[in-house]
Every structure is written in C-alpha cells, then in structure tokens.
C-alpha cells in the first residue's frame, strides 16, 4: 500500500519538473532580455550565448529527470 503512494508522489514530482522546465523555456523565449546582464546589451554576445546554452542544458536535464521518474518501474 505504501509503494503505491510513493509511486504517485514520484509521478507528481516528475510532472512538476517537466512542467516547470517547459514553462521557464517558454517564458525565456518570450522575454529574452532576462538573459542579458545590465549594461552589457551590445558587448557580450559570447557571454549571452554561453549562458543560454547552459540554461538550455539545465532545463534538458530537469526534464529528463522528470521523464526518468515517470518511466521508472518499481
């Protein structure tokens, strides 16, 4: 009986992780100015690209963790 409750809690956490990574990705797509530090609007293309890639990789890992929790048996 406790195993079933644990699986339900893990599913809820997995869906929350997937939803949060998707919502954050959409929000950053709509408002990309959050990725640019103050005062560096023109000079830091490389910094912006590397920061964006790190954020994309982090969101990918969070979503993969969610899918792993969903698909894990027992």
Domain segments of the chain as ranges: 2-71
Token output for 36: 């640019």
Residue 40 is predicted with a pLDDT of: 65
The rounded distance, in Å, linking the Cα atoms of 50 and 1 is 47
Token output for 64: 């993969």
Residue 47 Cα distances to 29, 41, 54, 68, angstroms: 17, 11, 11, 31
The rounded distance, in Å, linking the Cα atoms of 6 and 68 is 15
- Give residue-wise pLDDT tens across range 22-74: 788 778 767 767 767 677 666 667 777 777 787 888 888 888 888 887 887 65
Residue 41 is predicted with a pLDDT of: 64
């Amino acid at each position: 009986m406790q195993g079933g409750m644990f699986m339900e809690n893990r599913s809820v956490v997995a869906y929350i992780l997937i939803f949060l990574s998707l919502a954050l990705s959409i929000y950053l797509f709509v408002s990309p100015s959050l990725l640019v530090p103050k005062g560096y609007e023109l000079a830091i293309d490389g910094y912006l690209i590397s920061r964006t890639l790190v954020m994309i990789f982090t969101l990918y890992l969070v979503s993969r963790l969610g899918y792993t929790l969903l698909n894990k048996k027992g």
